[in-house]
Amino acid sequence: MISDNDKISNYQLNIFVILTIIEIGMAALPAILVKEVKSDAWILSIITGLVNIPFLYIVSKAAQKTSTQGFVGCLKSLFGKAAGTILAIPVLVYFLFMVGLESRLFGETVKMYFLQRTPIEFIVMPIIIEAVFLAKGGIEVIGRFFEAVFFPIVLINVLLILIAIPKNDFTNLLPVFSADIKEYFSAIIAGSNSFFGYELLLIISPYIKEPKKMFKTSTKALLIVTG
């Protein structure tokens, strides 16, 4: 049984989901949508976020069911220890792949815009070391860390938006609904990947203080990112 001191609150869960989704693919979303639907990209970014809500509901309910045993523990109880462990391997591989991919993408972005002459290994390694220390500290430490960095991240993004507004040409948002219906569906499918990250609820569900409020809290986070 996990004590409440080793669990995260709804507020921390909200921040956790927001930062996870942003880290997973928000940087690539504008380019993906503009390529598919051009001036309608801003509309499709909202629609794509809303389309993810039913999938978030499924993940949240599944995570809620496994909140006492955990995802891997649930697999073991359903299929036996050996089969459950084998079935958990693809999940582990998926998350390892996502961690590697996102670390690489983040490193390349920093290198491209800020540290052109720095080898990417020296950019990525501090991220990995930091992640190891946070993981060693447990979910509560991760939650507190996310709380600490959340408002600086929000502030920086707001300042960047305010700086960019005078230089923006809002006529580029027109015409509206000019793309073909097939292009809209293609954009939604391509852009949905950028909202992934909430599947981590399956893993962290035993460490959430109020799992029954998981969907409501995560939906708020998804809507904040979408907006």
Q: What is the pLDDT of residue 226?
A: 86
Q: What is the pLDDT of residue 214?
A: 93
2, part of any domain: no
Q: Which of 218, 225, 53 is nearest to 154 (CA)?
A: 225
Q: What is the pLDDT of residue 55?
A: 93
Q: What is the pLDDT of residues 147-202, one digit of tens each?
A: 999 999 889 888 988 888 888 877 877 888 888 888 889 888 888 878 888 888 98
Q: What is the pLDDT of residues 30-45, one digit of tens each?
A: 878 888 888 888 888 8
pLDDT band at 219, cuts 50/70/90? very high
Q: What is the pLDDT of residue 23?
A: 72
Q: Does residue 206 register a pLDDT over 60?
A: yes
Q: What is the pLDDT of residues 48-89, one digit of tens each?
A: 999 999 999 999 998 998 888 888 888 888 888 898 889 889
pLDDT band at 130, cuts 50/70/90? confident
23, part of any domain: yes
Overall domain count for the chain: 1
pLDDT band at 4, cuts 50/70/90? low
Residue-by-residue DSSP string for the chain: ---GGGSB-HHHHHHHHHHHHIIIIITTHHHHHHHHHGGGHHHHHHHHHHHHHHHHHHHHHHHHHTTTT-HHHHHHHHH-HHHHHHHHHHHHHHHHHHHHHHHHHHHHHHHHHT-TTS-HHHHHHHHHHHHHHHHHH-HHHHHHHHHHHHHHHHHHHHHHHHHHGGG--GGGG-SSS-S-HHHHHHHHHHHHGGGTTGGGHHHHGGGBS-GGGHHHHHHHHHHHHH-
1, part of any domain: no
Q: What is the pLDDT of residue 79?
A: 87
Average pLDDT of the residues in 5-9: 80
Q: Does residue 1 register a pLDDT over 70?
A: no
Structural domain boundaries, residue 149: 7-226
Cα dihedral 86/88/91/97 (nearest 10): -60
Q: What is the pLDDT of residues 87-125, one digit of tens each?
A: 889 988 988 888 887 778 778 877 877 788 888 888 888
165, part of any domain: yes
Distance CA 76, CA 82 (A): 7
Q: What is the pTM of this model?
A: 0.83
102, part of any domain: yes
Q: What is the pLDDT of residue 57?
A: 94
56, part of any domain: yes
Average pLDDT of the residues in 204-224: 92
Q: What is the pLDDT of residue 24?
A: 65
126, part of any domain: yes
